[in-house]
Chains A and B, each alone.
Chain A
Amino acid sequence: MDDLLSEFLTETNEGLGVLDVELVKLEQNPNDPELLSNIFRLMHTIKGTCGFLGLPRLESVAHSGENILGRVRDGELEVTAEAVSLILECLDRIREILAVLEATESEPAGDDSELISRLDACAEGRSAGSAPAASADSTEEAPAEAVATEEAETAEVSSDEEAAAAETVVAAAETEEMTDAPDTGEAEAGEPDHGELVAAEAEEVSSENVVNLAEAASPAAQPDAPAAAKPAAQPTGEAAAPKESSVANQSIRVNVELLENLMTMVSELVLTRNQLLQILRSQKETEFAAPLQRLNHVVSELQEGVMKTRMQPIGNAWAKLPRIIRDLANELGKKIDLKMKGADTELDRQVLDLIKDPLTHMVRNSADHGLETPAERRRSGKPETGTVLLDAYHEGGHIIIEIADDGKGLNSQAIKRKAISNGIASEAEMESLSDQQIMQFIFKPGFSTAEKVTSVSGRGVGMDVVRTNIERIGGTIELSSVAGKGTKFTIKIPLTLAIVSALIVECASERFAIPQISVIELVRTSSRSENQIERIKDTPVLRLRNRLLPLVSLRELLRLDGFGLPEPEAEKDDHFIVVAQVGTYTFGIIVDRVFDTEEIVVKPVAPILRDIQLFSGNTILGDGSVVMILDPNGIASQTGEINVTDAHGDTAEQRLQRREDEVALLVFRSGDDSPKAVPLALVARLEEIDLSQVEDSNGQHVVQYRGVLMPLVSMEADRKLAEEGRQPVLVFSDRGRSMGLVVDDIVDIVEGRLNVELTSDRLGYVGSAVVGGKATDIIDAGYFLTQAFRDWFDVDTHESFGEGAANRVLLVDDSPFFRNLLAPLLTTAGYDVTSVEGAQEALNLCEAGRDFDIIVSDIEMPGMNGFELAEQIRANRWADTPIVALTSHASPRDIARGRAVGFRDYVAKLDRDALLTSLQDTLSDHRGAA
């Protein structure tokens, strides 16, 4: 059955039960205004909900009943036994219709005009005129009333009438909210007084839980439902005797506090169970074994069930959105398509409650401010129907909710003007800000970008409130917007309170949980196995499938050395590496042992411990012990990798900028004392070769390495290799061939900005840069590759460019380092390379009449970025020239954006192979298409 309908049946049946009781009370006590208004509200709710669900027959009956009550409430009508009977009769009719509705899911056909006319007559005070009818009814009234009172007694779930009343007030508040929403545009409940409102809120929460409770019990409950519904349907034809609703019986309202208490008690039970199992293990033969196993299973299931009552799909918070969007579309004359993905992503009830309103607000905003009118959309060549996309998913131990629209994007000029006119920032300050930074202003208090204030949004309760609400639960909100393409908000809510699957690891006898979601794989290392931890200076690294994986020692990171027992020496080199991924950064965490994965409920840490960034929370494991939950984001940011977490005050762009600039460099010495460096990503492995194994072949030093001959190349042409001893070598690998670059010693791995300040004419050097505070020569790996194999890059050349004329490549990159690294590389691969340092220079070339076969452009550049350049190119003479994006951070989001503005492909900066392949593919595709 439709969720909405079953909820309606539950609520209405409850409401009817209360009404029966209250009406009888009213009859005895006709002058109690509170009672009366309560009754009125209940009736109104029933009517409102019927209208909302499109149940005309119910609605008209309820409406007439409400009319009488309305007049009574306004003092225009006396409360008489007759009127009360009539209303009770009206309730019975509603009940009859409901019973059929429940069985068949549709309103039965039937005529209520006779009843309605009597109700209306009563409402108009014409009781005298319709006296015969009334007296004729009185025979029916008696049984009806008898049934009603009987009903009242049985229907009372709790004998506490107050509680029952409060519950139905909720129903009132909820439905009023639904029905009123289109009018007021605000999800405000009706006008129950304060005390009631509180009750209403509390109950609303629990009513949402009810759904889950019913779900949890569903295997048992569901098969009953049809069976129960059928007998309920039968008597309706013969007798009007009202029946208990079976749907109503499937779910009950439970106080949240009760659930919380249950949860606590279940935890206790789990602990006791575990103790019992512990005892059981030490006893060999005991007759307790079987019952304890049984207890074990039951407790596990119980625990799971109770846990489930806390979790709700995020779709619950979205349920009202389609309606809101529909009404908005009508009001604003727009065509809006609301798409919702990941509605079943589960969230803790508490978190769900807190993000409900911000989400509604943002979706409304997207529809109102973000999307254009159909006419505007037509003009800008977009389909008339705008799309608002809601997407929820788990990522890196967080819940991500995206709200994206394909509207006009944020107008940074308008924001700028507004910010200046509101005195939030001065003009001078604004000038120095990038568009992205300017857009952040919409999160400041008192901001609305809508040119005119509509009834929908723009009343000053803006994004600042949204942001505050999200930050209050420890979340973050980010914004990205492309003019003409749309705006996307990304809300990241920490897993606090959510249930996650976590890997339990041990280090220095302490256990920790790592959210499973950020764990890619586990590697076991020991000095005897193929995988072993190596150290470059003090930095541990691991060779993993031809890559060097940076490692983080949990023991060192958490300063665990003082903790627990010292590790026995023999076990020292036996470790596990948890390979974790944060964004695009992959790293390994060294731990002593790995246990199992366990479902954990994340609890926030005490305020005292909140500034320890490495923990995202703590939890109680199945055995009752408390463990800390490691935050891979925090670990990544603490161990050098670019700021992945959201540093205060940083805009997204600044973070990108940093990521862009920082490169892991391998620093080594060779020949002289001056340090030399090469991007770590280019190095496949670090080896120490036994010099006695070095052979001479074809005038080159070679060594047998992994079954093939690997040429050794020195940085200095006249370098003589010693006869004996071990020699460190940087191994560059490509297409099954390897080359060893002989170096004196490996110094360090440095993460840092790479700014080649002096370019070099020396062969084999790109130039000099300051690395780790020292002037360092950056070597040109490509040069040494060709030293080893003259045809290193020729493979591509022969395969793809048989046509003779070299393909002309325009390389756009602001970083001299990359220009200097890539230009020779592309040249050796047979391209005719022109490199420029910015988008403007590239456009100048275009105007100057130069032509290229392909353009390779960086994304993050000062001034005009790669996306903008691509857009410009799409509009000018070069529109036909394919563009490949070059970036050091290719997130799926970037890639999507890149494709949208016309990039053919997306290549990681340091991935030489991918770049060459991409160029080749793009060119041949392009030729094929042309």
Chain B
Amino acid sequence: MRYLPLTTDDRRQMLHAVGAESIDDLFVDVPEAARLSGPIEGLPMHASEMAVERHMSALARRNLVAGEVPFFLGAGAYRHHVPASVDHLIQRGEYLTAYTPYQPEIAQGTLQMLFEFQTQVARLFGCDVANASMYDGSTACWEAISMAGRVTRRKRAVLSSGLHPHYVSVARTMAKFTGDTLDTAAPELNAMTDGERLLAAINGETSCVVVQYPDILGRIADLSAVAARAHEHGALLIAVVTEPVALGAIKSPGEMGADIVVGEGQSLGVGLQFGGPYVGLFACKDKYVRQMPGRLCGETVDAEGKRGFVLTLSTREQHIRREKATSNICTNSGLCALAFSIHVTLLGEAGLRTLASINHDGAVRAAERLGKVPGVRVVNDSFFNEFVVELPVEARPVVRTLADRGILAGVSLGRLYPGEESLANGLLVAVTETTTADDIDALAEALEEVLA
């Protein structure tokens, strides 16, 4: 077997050296009844690289590849161009096959990268500090709610109706077990976000207000008033960013008073990958750093006084604090954080701003074009690269019909909000730098035909 270097002769010598007659002697602690005498039945035996590749490629071919068709899906996962050097660099064995940097003298590569990543995330979000990443945006969002509970010692969170429904679901699952109360609502198909609802819901028992920015329907609203009201009542404002490219164009949540900003970093460097692995971003104000979940990398010096980096403030974490830890998270999303960081470094501030402009201008162009399709109404006033159109019919079957015609038209709100009839005609359309003018025309023309 190509991954196993021991030869038959090695095994014999080594068994002899450990005083065992056969390999079974080393499994003596396993009760007789639980020992399997041979390979598990019904499963295939080992296979060549070629055979495995053939099998996997056949499965891959049964999927409709986003890059091969006009493609408009978003809703928390966006298709952006990832520069070739990103994937090349993250495949270097020194990154790919390293462990968590617990031995800093021989992990400065990962550690310095994480320090740079933390700084990039903090600046993008307008916060003081960021951690070394979480699993993804949805789990980062719950961790933020949980952290706000620790900071305020309250257990009632107010969630904006514009928060991604999967993120709401995750929070709901967790809250069921932790005893937190979540004030939630479904969004309405109009241009206004639910700022008024949030302002009314905040009171002296509120631990935090959670607002997505831009929200699930792509709408952009100033967070300042909600921040002020939350702070008046001793609550924290958590902002959730599922499309970080937007922050190359619009103000950061930190600038508008958010205390914790979390997000999904998939857009930069990571790719679609059918939903994972992605990378959770987590940033906050300095004063809350000891309540943060996850790993943190910090600067220090070595015995010769040279600058170096280490994982720090580890006493917050499970391997030391055990049942009193701020979170049970251990593994994070290091390699995706690296991909994110390399992509942001390649872009730089100028590149990110240009990228954001291309996304936005493309989306404006698409909104104008789709708005001209008879019966179709663009719901948003404001948006970055994603907006909702209301169709004259239920959107979900339209999406399926267009998929058959080789167009991935967007995410129907029926998929995201099953059972919410008021949203059923909504179609969420995302446009990125990978979308061409021809793609937009193809979508508009196909819609015209299907709706005719």
* A complexed with B: no
